[in-house]
Structure 1
Amino acid sequence: MRTIRTHASRPRPLTLISTGVLALAVAGCTDPTIEDTSADPGASTSGTTGAEDVIVASASDPDTFNPVLGYARWGDGKVSEGLVALTDDLTVEPLLADAPPVVSEDGLTYTVGLQQDVLFHDGTELDAQDVVATYQAAVDPENASAVAADLTAMEQVEAVDEHTVRFTLEAPQSSFVTAMVLGIVPAETVRDLDAETAPPGTGPYRMESYRPGERLVLEANEDYWGEQPQVQRATFVFVDDDASRAARVASGEVDAAILPTQALDRFESDPDWEVVRRDTADFRALVMPESDPVAGDPAIRRALHTGIDRQALVDGALAGAGRPAYGPIPPEAPEYSEVVETGTDVAGAEELLDEAGWVVGDDGVRSKDGRRAEFTLMFPAGDTLRQNVALEVQAQADDLGIEVETEGLSWEAIEPRMSEDAVVYGSGNPYNADLSTYPLFHSSRAFQGFDNPGGYDSAEMDAALQAGRAAQDEDARVQAYADVQEELAQDLPWVFLAYVEHDYVIRADTWSGYDVPLVEPHEHGLQGGPWWNLQAWTGGAR
C-alpha cells in the first residue's frame, strides 16, 4: 500500500500567483450545502477491475449541474470547461482560451481569444456568443447565482469577432482571471436553468444518466477537442452516511471514496487500498449573526475567540485531521497576517465577560441585564464532522459560562435562520484572498444566499475589501488584506476554528496520475479528491 501524506499540521509553501495578468483567485465554496444533501445508501453498485471504468462513493450530489448557477464554480467540471483552468500548483493556464488574456495597462479590459473547432456535446461549435451569453446569465439578478459575487466589477462582455471576447470592468479586479473558470454553455441553452440537468459542455465527459440522491454516470466525450481520457466511464454514487461509504469500500463495491479520518484505520494496512490525505484551506467557523443579542455581543464573540482551545477541537472533533484556523486566508498565502491569531486564554476570556457585565449565575450560566448568555448553534444534520465541532464548541463554551444549544437541521431549514441563529459554516480556498473574503464579509453580499449569512456590515471592512480587489500592485494588495484581517480581528463577526483535512481511499495499483500535490478548497465533492483530474488518469500498476 502506498500512502500519500500532505498533512495539514505542517504547512508547506503554496505557489500563489500575484496580481499580474495571470493572477488567479478562486472563491471559497460559500454554499455549504455541497457536502450534506441526502442520498440513498441502499443503491446497488459493483466495483470495477479495469482501468477504463471507475465507481466513486461521494457524500452528496451537487445542488446544480448548471455552471451559470454555480456548478463547478472553481473549475474541474469534467462536463463543462472555462476559458482558463486551475493547475495543481495553484497557477492558471488557458483552456478554452487559446492564450492568456490580454489585459490593458489600466486593468479594465481583458481580451480573450478562443480555441477553434471546439464542439459542445450537442454538436454545436463554441464561439464568442456562447461566452457572452454565459457571463451575462451569471450576473443576471433574476438568476440569483453565487457566481455573480465573483464578477461584481464586470461592466460589459462583448464579442469582438467570432472567436474573440472582450471583458470591460468598472474598476480593476485583481482576481478577475479567476472568473474565467466559469463553465461555458451554448447561448441557445443558457436560459434553461434546470438545476438537475447538465447543459451541453465542451468537457472530456458528458452526462450519461443522473438519478438525484442516488448516482451520476459520466461517459467519455468521443468528440472531445483535447486528449481523449483513458477512464471512459465514471459512476458517482451518493451515500451520505460515512459508515455506509466505508462499508462499500471494504466490500469492493466501489473503487474510491471520501471518508472521515476515523474510518481510515481499516484501510491503512490493507494492500488493496491506498489512503490519500489532502491539505486544504477548507475552514470551519461559527457565523455569529449580528442581530442576535448574545451571539452578536462583542464580548461573547471575543470570549469564544480567545477561550476556545482550537488544538483540542482539532484533536477531538476532527480526530487530529486538521489544524487551527483564525481567519479565512490560510497561513501559506502571502496576504496572511498574524494579527488574527490568538492563544487560548480561558482566564482572560472569563475576565473579559466579567468586565462586560456577563455575570455567572447559580446554574453556571452567565447573564446580563436579565438576559442569559445562551444562543443556538445550527449544523447540518447528517454531517458528523460539523456535529462534532458544534458539540466541542458547546462543551468549551459551557466552561466559560455560555450556554450553546446545538441543533441539527436540513440546509433548507438552516438557510432562512442564518440571520438570527449561529451556524457551523464551511468555506475557504487556497488560491486568492479576494474571493475568499469579499463574498463573505462585504456588506453588499449580506444575506445573499450563503454569502455573508450573518449580515456583517462595516464601512471599514468594505473599503479594505474593495482596495484589495482593485489592487494591481502586490504590496498594495498585501496591505489591503492586512487591513481586512485587522478588521476581522477587531470585529470578530465569525469565530474561526479549524482547517479540515480531506481524506480518501482508492483502489491500489489500478490508476496513476491522481497523486498530485493539490491543496483543496472547501468544495471537494465531484470536483475534489483523487478524481479532481480524472481525465488525466492512466491505467495500470505504478
Structure 2
Amino acid sequence: MVLSRRMFLKACGCAAGALGAGALVGCGSDGAAGSAAAGADGASPAAGVGVGPDGESQVVITMTPSSEPAAGFDPLVNWGAGEHVHEPLIQSTLIATDNNLAFVNDLATDYGCSDDGLTWTFHIRDDVKFTDGVPLTAEDVAFTINGIVNGQAAEADLSMVREARAVDAVTCEIAMERPNNALLYTLAVVGIVPAHGYGEDYGEHPIGSGRYMLEQWDRGQQVILRANPDYYGEKPLMDRVVVLFMEEDASLAAASAGTVDVAYTSAALAGAVPAGYTLLNCASVDSRGISLPCNPAGTDVVVEGDMVYMGGNDVTSDIAVRRALNLGIDRAAMIEHVLAGFGRAAYSVGDGMPWSSAAMEVETDVAAAEALLDEAGWARGDGGMRSRDGVPCAFDLYYAANDSTRQALAYDFADQCAALGIAVTPKGASWDDIYVRQYADPVLWGWGSNSPVELYELTYSTGWGNYAQYMNETVDANLEAAQAARTVEESYPFYQAAQWDAASGTGVAPEGAATWVWLANVDHLYFEREGLAVAEQKPHPHGHGWSLVNNIDRWSWS
C-alpha cells in the first residue's frame, strides 16, 4: 500500500523529546514573581509581584522545554503552526478564532471564496505597520503564504494552496489546488512576515506587527516579550511576558519558591498547590489514543514512494479485537487512576467540536467485549489469556519513554486488557524507534487541535496520520466533501458521516472499523498566582505550552 504525505516525520502527533531542564535566570534577591528574569540590559528587575524592570505590568510563566521553538519565532517554519498550534503573538494573522472558535478578522477586513472554491480573496487593513516602521501590505501576505507553500521546513499545512498573489496593496488572492475550507483554520495561526525583512536569521530577530515584540531570547532558558507600542488593535493589558522553559519538577519548585506567576503541572502533582496559588484547570481537546493496525502482518507501507515501513498486525487486524478493545476499556476508571480525575473520556480526535460525531461514543461493556472475542474464536487458555489457531491474542503497545503520563496510561490499558484475556506489553521507546513500528504495532499517541484537519489526516486513506491503514472509499468521499463544502459549517455533517455513515454502515466508529481506541482528553493544569486574572481560555489543543497565552494581552493583575 502506498501512503503519500507532504510532510510527516517532524510533525507527528507526539510530544517532542525534552531538551533538558530550563533555569530561572537573573532572579531578584527577594525571589518574587516579576523578578524571575533579568532585563534586556542585564540589570536586575524591580522587585514586586507583577512588576517588570521598568515598572510595567509583567507575568512570568513556565512552559515545557519542548515548547521552545527550535527554529525561533518564524511562521515559515513552525512558530504558531505545526504540531502545537497557537496564535503567534509577534506577528499578525489574517483571521483568528474567538473563545467559541468562530472566525474573526485580524488583518483582514473581509474575505470570501469564489463559487468554484478555487480562489479566496482577502482584503486587509491599510493602517498596519511592522515594528521597523514599514507598512504591511498584501505583498507581505502573499510572500508569507508562498514561503510556506514552497518551504521544505514549513509545518503549517498549506498543501491545498497553489499560490498567493497581491492584487494591490490591500487585496490578496489565494489560488487553490483544490477546494478546501480547512484553509481558514491554518490561516488563523499563520503569522505574516515582512517580505523586505525576512532572512536566514528571522527566527532569532523577528519583525512583526502583532501584539508583542521579542525583547530577549536566551536559548534553553527564557523568552521575554514586550507589548508592541504601535499595535493597531486594543492595547495589551500585560506589558511584559517572561516565559521560562523548564522540566515539570522545576516548574513546581519555581511556584513553591514564588518566583513565577503561572507554572504548568500535571495531574500527579496537581494536589501540591503552593501557598498563594490556585489550580487553573483548562479544558482541552488534547487526546490520548491508540492506533490499531487494520491489516495483517506483512502489509508494508511505502511513504513518499521510497521509504518502506513494516506494516500490519495479525491480532489488531481482526475487527472483533478492535471493537472489543473499544467496548472493554473503562475510560472513567483509567482517568481516575492515572489522571486523578483531571480529564474526560475520549472517543475521537476532537470530542465536543462541531465536527465530532456522537456515534464515536461507546459505553463500557465488558460482557459484550468478551462475547465478541469468543465469537471470533479467541478462546481463553491456561492463565486466562486468549489465542486462536495457535496465535496468542497479544500485541506490543509503544509509547514515548520520556512521558510518564503515557506510560501510566499504557500500563493501565494493559491491565484492563488482561482482564479481557488480551496480553498487552507496554514498550517505552524513543520516537525514532516508534516511527519504525508505527504501522505494525499499536502506538499511544497524543493528538488534538481546534480544527478538523487532524480528523481528516488520521482517517483519510492517504492521510499522513493514517497509522491504522484503514482505507474506505465512502469514508474518503465524505472527507473530500467536507473540505470542498462552501462553508466550514456545511462541512460538519460530512466529517460526522466519515466517522459513521449509518446509511452505508461504514466509518471509523467503534461499531464500524474501530481503527483507534481513544482513552482520555487530558486537562491542562497550571498553578496560578492569586491576584492574577487569566483571561477565559479557548479549548486547549495538544501541547502544554503556548496555547495558554493566546490571549495574554487580556490578562491583568488585581
TM-score for the superposition, normalised by structure 2: 0.80
Partner of 2:139: 129
Once the two structures are superposed, the pairs formed by residues 267-282 of structure 1 within 5 Å of their partners are: 267=273, 270=275, 272-282=276-286
Partner of 1:496: 518
Give CA-to-partner distance per residue, 1:497-538, whole Å, 9 cap, x none: 1222222222111x43x231532222441222xx33112223
Q: In the alignment, does 2:481 pair up with 1:467?
A: yes
Which has the larger displacement, 420-429 or 385-394?
Answer: 420-429
CA 225–410 in structure 1, closer or farther in 2 if over 3 Å, else same: farther
Q: Is the 8 A contact 2:338 2:408 kept in 1?
A: yes
Please point out which of 91, 94, 119 is paired with 1:80: 91
Partner of 2:453: 435
Please point out which of 163, 167, 183 is paired with 1:160: 167
Q: Is the 8 A contact 2:136 2:194 kept in 1?
A: yes
CA 39–54 in structure 1, closer or farther in 2 if over 3 Å, else same: farther
Please give the alpha-carbon distance, in whole angstroms, between the structure 1 residues aligned to 2:326 and 2:137. 51
Please give the alpha-carbon distance, in whole angstroms, between the structure 1 residues aligned to 2:79 and 2:342. 27
Partner of 1:346: 366
Aligned-pair CA distance for 1:312: 0.8
Q: In the alignment, does 2:288 pair up with 1:284?
A: yes
Q: Is the 8 A contact 1:284 1:499 kept in 2?
A: yes
CA 411–216 in structure 1, closer or farther in 2 if over 3 Å, else same: farther
Q: In the alignment, does 2:255 pair up with 1:255?
A: no
CA 413–90 in structure 1, closer or farther in 2 if over 3 Å, else same: same
1:427 partner letter:
W
Aligned-pair CA distance for 1:365: 3.0
Please give the alpha-carbon distance, in whole angstroms, between the structure 1 residues aligned to 2:392 and 2:197. 54
Give CA-to-partner distance per residue, 1:391-425, whole Å, 9 cap, x none: 11111111122222222233344334323332221
Partner of 1:325: 346
Please point out which of 168, 177, 180 is paired with 1:173: 180
Count of residue correspondences: 493
| Two-structure CA RMSD over aligned residues (Å) | 2.8
Partner of 2:64: 59
Aligned-pair CA distance for 1:465: 0.6
Partner of 2:5: none
CA 483–261 in structure 1, closer or farther in 2 if over 3 Å, else same: same
Q: Which runs of 5+ in 2 are unaligned?
A: 1-9, 35-48, 52-56, 295-311, 501-506
Equivalent residue of 2:527, what SS? strand
Please point out which of 385, 396, 416 is paired with 2:416: 396
Equivalent residue of 1:477, what SS? helix
Give CA-to-partner distance per residue, 1:458-481, whole Å, 9 cap, x none: 322211111111123788634312
Equivalent residue of 2:546, what SS? coil
Partner of 2:121: 111
Aligned-pair CA distance for 1:170: 4.3
Please give the alpha-carbon distance, in whole angstroms, between the structure 1 residues aligned to 2:240 and 2:232. 18
Please give the alpha-carbon distance, in whole angstroms, between the structure 2 residues aligned to 1:33 and 1:198. 28
Q: Is the 8 A contact 2:23 2:244 kept in 1?
A: no
1:435 partner letter:
V
Please give the alpha-carbon distance, in whole angstroms, between the structure 2 residues aligned to 1:532 and 1:102. 25
More helix by share: 1
Q: Is the 8 A contact 1:57 1:254 kept in 2?
A: yes
CA 474–341 in structure 1, closer or farther in 2 if over 3 Å, else same: same
CA 444–200 in structure 1, closer or farther in 2 if over 3 Å, else same: farther
Partner of 1:532: 550
Equivalent residue of 2:359, what SS? helix
Q: Is the 8 A contact 2:470 2:515 kept in 1?
A: yes
Equivalent residue of 2:164, what SS? strand
Aligned-pair CA distance for 1:304: 0.8
Give CA-to-partner distance per residue, 1:89-121, whole Å, 9 cap, x none: 222211122x12133344432211222243334
TM-score for the superposition, normalised by structure 1: 0.83
CA 477–485 in structure 1, closer or farther in 2 if over 3 Å, else same: same
Please give the alpha-carbon distance, in whole angstroms, between the structure 2 residues aligned to 1:444 and 1:463. 13
CA 62–460 in structure 1, closer or farther in 2 if over 3 Å, else same: farther
Please give the alpha-carbon distance, in whole angstroms, between the structure 2 residues aligned to 1:180 and 1:30. 18
Give CA-to-partner distance per residue, 1:129-175, whole Å, 9 cap, x none: 221122123223x6154422xx3433332111122101233443333
Please give the alpha-carbon distance, in whole angstroms, between the structure 2 residues aligned to 1:346 and 1:125. 63
Please point out which of 384, 405, 413 is paired with 2:425: 405
Partner of 1:25: none
Please give the alpha-carbon distance, in whole angstroms, between the structure 1 residues aligned to 2:238 and 2:541. 24
Aligned-pair CA distance for 1:191: 6.7
Give CA-to-partner distance per residue, 1:414-454, whole Å, 9 cap, x none: 3343233322212223x44x3241122222323xxxx3344
Please point out which of 19, 28, 43 is paired with 1:38: 19
Please point out which of 406, 413, 426 is paired with 2:446: 426
Please give the alpha-carbon distance, in whole angstroms, between the structure 2 residues aligned to 1:475 and 1:205. 32
RCO comparison, higher one (Cα < 8 Å, 6+): 1
Partner of 2:271: 265
Please point out which of 463, 467, 470 is paired with 1:445: 463
Q: Is the 8 A contact 1:134 1:190 kept in 2?
A: no
Aligned-pair CA distance for 1:53: 2.1
1:323 partner letter:
R
Q: Is the 8 A contact 1:132 1:165 kept in 2?
A: yes
Give CA-to-partner distance per residue, 1:261-303, whole Å, 9 cap, x none: 34233328x4x21322122222111022342223343222112
Aligned-pair CA distance for 1:222: 3.8
CA 478–95 in structure 1, closer or farther in 2 if over 3 Å, else same: closer
Larger C-alpha radius of gyration, 1 or 2? 2
Give CA-to-partner distance per residue, 1:371-397, whole Å, 9 cap, x none: 332222222233222222111111111
Give CA-to-partner distance per residue, 1:16-54, whole Å, 9 cap, x none: xxxxxxxxxxxxx97444565333155455522134222
Identity of aligned residues (%): 31
CA 225–426 in structure 1, closer or farther in 2 if over 3 Å, else same: same
Which has the larger displacement, 519-528 or 497-506?
Answer: 519-528
Which has the larger displacement, 35-44 or 291-300?
Answer: 35-44
Runs of 4+ in 1 over 6 A off after TM superposition: none
Partner of 1:89: 100
Q: Is the 8 A contact 2:181 2:487 kept in 1?
A: no
Aligned-pair CA distance for 1:317: 1.4
Partner of 2:329: 308
CA 453–184 in structure 1, closer or farther in 2 if over 3 Å, else same: farther
Q: Is the 8 A contact 2:148 2:154 kept in 1?
A: yes
Aligned-pair CA distance for 1:228: 4.1
Please give the alpha-carbon distance, in whole angstroms, between the structure 2 residues aligned to 1:267 and 1:39. 24
Please give the alpha-carbon distance, in whole angstroms, between the structure 1 residues aligned to 2:153 and 2:472. 23
Please give the alpha-carbon distance, in whole angstroms, between the structure 2 residues aligned to 1:247 and 1:472. 51
